[in-house]
Structure 1
Amino acid sequence: MSQGRSLELYFVDGRPDGLLTAEVFNWTGHILSAPRIQLREALERPEAKYTGVYLLLGDDEDGRIAYVGEGESISERIRSHDAKKEWWSNVVMITTSSDSLHKAHVKYLESRLVEIAREAAQVRLENGNTPPRSSLSEAGQANMEEFIETLRMVLPALGIDLLQVQKRSARYGSETTDASTPPICFSLSAPQVGIVATARLEGAEFIVRQGSEARPRWVGQGGHVASYAKLHAQLCQLGILKVEGDKAIFTEHYAFSSPSAAAAVVLGRPSNGRTKWKRSETGQSYADWEAEQIGADA
């Protein structure tokens, strides 16, 4: 069972959209996040001169974009990007509180973060190629992988989903659920279009199972659901949804942020997933099941 962790956030100038530092108890890592308009203040901080990796985050005409880089003095690399790259609006500097990373460490981290970000496919990367990993000892690689695992917990807490991989392997769930706790399973069917999908609740994730069916194209209307339409298109592009005739098939398990997001992608239109998804064993709606769990009326 995963243990709870404590994340300490410090708003340097007392504003939630300004300079921010993040640290986790018993983790050597240190994160400094800053909007570009406060770049001068960020680069004046001592950790900006440490060896580490950094993320540039922003938007262009094609959507969200990011760049992953490394440097023995992060501030020098970021000053170069400030002069050459127009699109980014935020920077995240990832170092250690004692400046204990060296060049081989950050080369390895840069390579792995690019690999994970490409797999996650949440944001388009400006990095042309995945940089080669540096030569670290087996122990050194293990330390960096542990560092990355904590980083993958911290960044989403800061609203950064660059490393969030929603895909799950075909074996996902077979070893992760305690045998004494039966999995909570749901199904969604749309007989009029011949669609049947199944899902499983795992912690905070609503995971649509491999082999589930979905509409092959988005048919919904309205700008307020544009994000779900984009997600449907993205899953088709990535091959997670494979079109076969008049339906699409999930080729892998995929974790959604909510039952409604999952229902929208499955049905190809806006949908209240809380009422559409039914308990596989009882036919009870997700909303009724949830209300039962907290002892409230639906």
Structure 2
Amino acid sequence: MSPVVGRSLELYYIDGRPDGMVTAELFNWTGHVLLFPRTQLSAALARSEASYAGVYLLLGDQNGEPFAYIGEGEDIGARIRQHDVRKEWWTSAVLVTASANKLNKAHVRYLEARLIAHAKAIGHTPLDNLTAPVLPILSEADIAKMEAFLENLLIVLPAVRVDMFIQRARSHRPTAPATPGRTIADPQTISAGGTRFVLEARKHGLRASAVLTDGEFVVEAGSMGRREWTGLDHHTYASLYAELRRSGVLTEQGAHCVFTQDYAFRSPSAAAAVVNGRASNGQIDWRTADGGLTYKDWEARQVAAPEGTA
């Protein structure tokens, strides 16, 4: 197996403010990403790259949920001026171009179609796009170039706080379809190399399992969760719970919900909140499956153990 190779990313805050215009570029990549708030639309469209061929994302929210539009054009600045400036819901935008304006119409149509398909497959953010464009016909060489361009773009976008293309559903192991009464996966099917944790909420009849593997806290398919969010509506994880319900990761089965697939959370507390349907301390709620240690105590042991003995 080839060793993991890091990537060098350069962010440039144009006006010196983290909430203003920012550009992002990867070393040895011809792509260029510009993120800007709508309040700086005129300044952004006055930049040279705004007249290039490329794709663009309009980002905002509608009815309290994240919302986005993905478009393309041979002059993306003109495209936004002529059409999408009339969309009232968006609050920020991303322009994706290439140095020296190297992308052509077919290239950007291909990127637009691939991004729309990718966003819909993940399901984090509903799109304002009414149709799914068909991939244009490209040569084998051009397809390879655009797929490589897209791979790099999907690395850059999260760095500028665009996470709608991050796939957190995981397939660490084969899983059987979730059925009533099946609360956690058979231990024999758990992927090797990870520590297993269990969360039980007997009052509500919940049981969930998770694996900490490769730096990710992955709740396993078949785990149970609350049927609805009972915590504060404005809590950070309320929107995450709603997103997982909307995308089908968490679906109703009887009096509870069930995870239909493995899902990687950013923290044990985020996972516990979705399972419990309210704000929860995952450091305490999750316990090791073999010894019953809280995640907090288990983590403390890992930190205290000499390197190579944890």
TM-score clears 0.5: yes
Report the Cα offset of residue 83 of structure 1.
4.1
1:103 aligns with 2:105: yes
| Cα-to-partner distance string for 1:149-171 (whole Å, 9 max, x where unaligned) | 22222111111112112222474
Alignment counterpart, residue 249 of structure 1, candidates 258, 271, 281: 258
Report the Cα offset of residue 82 of structure 1.
5.2
Residue 201 of structure 1 is matched in structure 2 by 212
Contact 2:221 2:261 in 1 (8 A): yes
Aligned with 1:260: secondary structure?
Answer: helix
Contact 1:263 1:271 in 2 (8 A): yes
Report the Cα offset of residue 203 of structure 1.
3.5
Supply the AA of the counterpart residue of 1:195: L
Contact 1:170 1:252 in 2 (8 A): no
Residue 190 of structure 1 is matched in structure 2 by 201
Alignment counterpart, residue 210 of structure 1, candidates 202, 221, 224: 221
Residue 165 of structure 2 is matched in structure 1 by 163
Q: Distance in 2 between matches of 1:188 and 1:205?
A: 17
Residue 230 of structure 1 is matched in structure 2 by 239
Residue 94 of structure 1 is matched in structure 2 by 96
Report the Cα offset of residue 224 of structure 1.
4.6
Contact 1:36 1:88 in 2 (8 A): yes
Q: Distance in 1 between matches of 2:76 and 2:37?
A: 16
Q: Distance in 1 between matches of 2:145 and 2:215?
A: 27
Supply the AA of the counterpart residue of 2:230: V
Q: Distance in 2 between matches of 1:111 and 1:212?
A: 34
Residues paired across the two proteins, number = 287
Contact 2:124 2:247 in 1 (8 A): no
| Cα-to-partner distance string for 1:200-221 (whole Å, 9 max, x where unaligned) | 223443211111111222233x
Alignment counterpart, residue 270 of structure 2, candidates 257, 261, 269: 261
The aligned runs of 1:116-135 (5 Å cut-off) are: 116-135=118-137
Contact 1:35 1:91 in 2 (8 A): yes
Residues 234 and 91 of structure 1, relative CA distance in 2, 3 Å threshold: closer
Detail structure 1 runs of 4+ shifted over 6 Å in the superposition: none
Report the Cα offset of residue 46 of structure 1.
1.4
Report the Cα offset of residue 76 of structure 1.
0.8
Q: Distance in 1 between matches of 2:38 and 2:109?
A: 24
Alignment counterpart, residue 77 of structure 1, candidates 71, 76, 79: 79
Contact 2:51 2:77 in 1 (8 A): yes
1:278 aligns with 2:280: no
Contact 1:186 1:198 in 2 (8 A): yes
The aligned runs of 1:13-92 (5 Å cut-off) are: 13-81=15-83, 83-92=85-94
TM-score between both structures, scaled by the size of structure 1 = 0.88
Q: Distance in 1 between matches of 2:255 and 2:99?
A: 55
| Cα-to-partner distance string for 1:170-190 (whole Å, 9 max, x where unaligned) | 7479xxxxxxx8222222122
Supply the AA of the counterpart residue of 1:47: E
Contact 1:172 1:253 in 2 (8 A): no
Aligned with 2:70: secondary structure?
Answer: strand
Q: Distance in 2 between matches of 1:108 and 1:127?
A: 15
